[in-house]
Chains A and B, each alone.
Chain A
Amino acid sequence: MTFKRSNIEQQIQHIPKEVKWCKKCVVSNQRPRINFDEEGVCSGCRNTEYKNNDVDWLAREKELAELLDQHRRTDGHWDVIVPSSGGKDSGYVAHQLRYKYGMNPLTVTWSPLQYTNIGFQNFEACIDSGLTNILATPNGRFQRKLARLCFEELGDAFHVFVLGQISYPFQMAKRLGINLVFYGENGEAEYAGDPNYADKPYKPSEEWVGQHFKGVTFRELLDYGLKHKDYLSEDDFTESDLIFYEPPSADELTGAGILGKHFYSYYHKWSPQENYYYCAENTGFKPNPERTEGTYSKYSSLDDKMDGFHYYLRYIKFGLGRCLEEAAHEVRDGHITREEGVALMQRYEGEFPQKYFEDFLKYLDISEEHFWDVVNSWRAPHLWEKINGEWLFKYPIK
């Protein structure tokens, strides 16, 4: 093994060495920022109980109407930004804001690393259903090197996409003078991460701008790459290529009246499956013509060929693959039983995303051998063991 990774990825250093499964859903304690209480139930499940029992959704809807009344513009200008891929979640939010609440949304899309056919089809269909959109695609040659850097040093090539996805909408909000930015779900609350802000309508700019995803800022990451990677040099970019990878400062945002990330899931009980139905009926959304690798569903996160590797590496790093993520949410929602979730995971969890493997290697400009070297460097030793030359995950779900 010729590849040795650095330790700039912080998440992986804080996960418990003993694997425990939630008693109610199918997530494990390996998920960064998750909490298990004394009954062995995870924070995701508790958040769902809260959603089901303790929230007055009618009151929340009223709050939404009031918020939107305050922001709605009648002077021919957009009044809300919806970061949108054209998928079922963002499509739902954008369509509702426009057609149910009479807002003037501008959907903004941070391009996937590599569009899939179905992803682009859904993206166009969403626009076709009656929404305005701006699609941003960063400097491709530079981004591919960043992706390789992220793959090697953060164990997630997709991270480079995420950087843009969280920053770009706010750069646009500031530049276009739109001070309301509406996301779909509060990802941390919905997917058993940090439960803070689960009961808040938005995450304040001061809070999230400073957050270092995976424990390292974009600049730190870039510096590391410039210092240690022979494929990345200062000739590969100019400062203007970096604009969308970082959000405006907290001061700039609050100065522009942009409070933070608003969550639609605060105002409407969030159900990814119902979002699917909504978009199938209203935005021309079509599911994948075949099952998405690594899971059982056909309607989640379809637009990026590189997506599968984000989940696959997560499985290597934390034992948390794509199937687990979806099954856990559906179990919490009561759409499937835990028994079913377990059966699904036994069938699909950790499935290698073969379909776009060649594309992935080409995108990062690496060999298959290097791919596996990097992957193996990310295998958490307490989760994996090698038996008869094969890597086995030590904790298949029960």
Chain B
Amino acid sequence: MSLAMRIISRLDIKGPNLVKGINLEGLRVLGKPESFAKFYYEQGADELFYQDVVASLYGRNSLHDIISKTAKEIFIPLTVGGGIRCIEDISNILKAGADKVSINTAAIGNPDLISSASKFFGASTIVISIEAIKQPDGRYMAFTDNGRNATGKEVVSWAKEIEQLGAGEIQLTCVDQEGSGKGFDLGLIKDVTSAVTLPIVAHGGAGNMQHVLDLAEDVPVSGVAISSLLHYDYILHNRHLDGYEDEGNVEFLKSKRALSNIDSVPISQLKSFLIENNIPCRKYE
């Protein structure tokens, strides 16, 4: 037995709603994040990741309520990102009940924050999120703000810098693949995992179970963060159980249709599939 592949459920949250974009664009509402979180915990998720998608815009993270609620009922690690700017922000998010924080914009703007935060809270508490977008010349550059703002930082060298500064983990989002269901950008992920000895969580592109298996077999990632694959499964089977705030883009929810290009896969099924293919996973009980 050895270290299991982590299946991390990632929830993008806007106000009271769970939202899901494509290429990190669009704010289609899928329901209430608390319901999804509980469901994923019961299904055997290894970790939860909450991203406040409008935090950067407002300059603040607004997830404290749902963080507290989650921490009281769900006993797996919770990482929270979005609008975290300084030591005090980190402290507040941890106090609300999160175990780790994920930082992007503030880290790029002020890399020293990474080292001071790691010293203060422990390296393992600090996750740096990289949003990678492939440029016409073939290079992958890091972006902030849901893939909106260019930073001029090339992904692999930024990853190396992050390691030097003492962060505990990197979450790497392949923006071009995200929400598309087309699979992971294995080349990019391999480049980053080869460049550093930090644990890397890959995010962006899972459209079916085979994609996750390909990733696990080909690349030494510590975990995979999944959204669409799981969310659309949840609402397919649980829509009648869930109320949703009538705020935000609720057209899809009202239409009650399924997606054509992304499978609906519950965590338990994904884990069984991985275990059958010799990828160690914490089995669903």
Contacts and interface: CB of A to CB of B under 8 A. Distances in A.
B3 interface: no
Interface stretch (A3-11, A137-145, A281-289): A281-289
Contact of B135 (A289, A333, A335): A289
A335 B148 contact: no
A277 B149 contact: no
Contacts of B251: 269, 271, 274
Interface stretch (B24-32, B65-73, B99-107): B24-32
Contacts of B179: 280
A273 B28 contact: yes
B75 interface: no
A290 interface: yes
Contacts of A277: 22, 26, 28, 252
B88 interface: no
A281 B207 CA distance: 12
B210 interface: no
B63 interface: no
Given A281-B261, A343-B58, A347-B57, A273 B147 contact: no
Question: DSSP class of B's interface residues: helix, strand, loop or mixed?
Answer: loop
A163 interface: no
Interface in A336-381: 336-337, 340, 343-344, 347
A347 B57 CA distance: 8
A287 B57 contact: no
Contacts of B27: 273, 335-336
B2 interface: no
A282 B247 CA distance: 26
B contact residues, range: 20 to 34
Contacts of A334: 246-250
A351 to B, nearest CB: 12
A254 interface: no
A338 to B, nearest CB: 12
Contacts of B23: 280, 286-287, 298
B138 interface: no
Contact of A274 (B150, B246, B252): B252
A346 B219 CA distance: 42
B247 to A, nearest CB: 6
Interface string B149-161: 1100000000000
A13 interface: no
Contacts of B198: none
Residue of A274, A298, A299 with most chain B CB atoms under a 10 A cut-off: A298
Interface string A280-310: 1110001101110000111100000000000
A292 to B, nearest CB: 9
A296 B58 CA distance: 13
A249 interface: no
A120 B28 CA distance: 26
Nearest to A118: B136
A282 B22 CA distance: 13
B249 A335 contact: yes
Contacts of A337: 15, 247
A336 B14 CA distance: 10
Given A273-B28, A276-B22, A335-B27, A291 B149 contact: yes
Interface of A: 117, 269, 271, 273-274, 276-277, 280-282, 286-287, 289-291, 296-299, 333-337, 340, 343-344, 347
Given A287-B22, A290-B149, A298-B148, 9 more contacts: A277-B252, A281-B259, A282-B260, A296-B148, A299-B25, A334-B248, A336-B27, A337-B15, A343-B58
Interface of B: 15, 22-23, 25-28, 54, 57-58, 133-136, 143, 145, 147-150, 176, 179-180, 246-252, 259-261
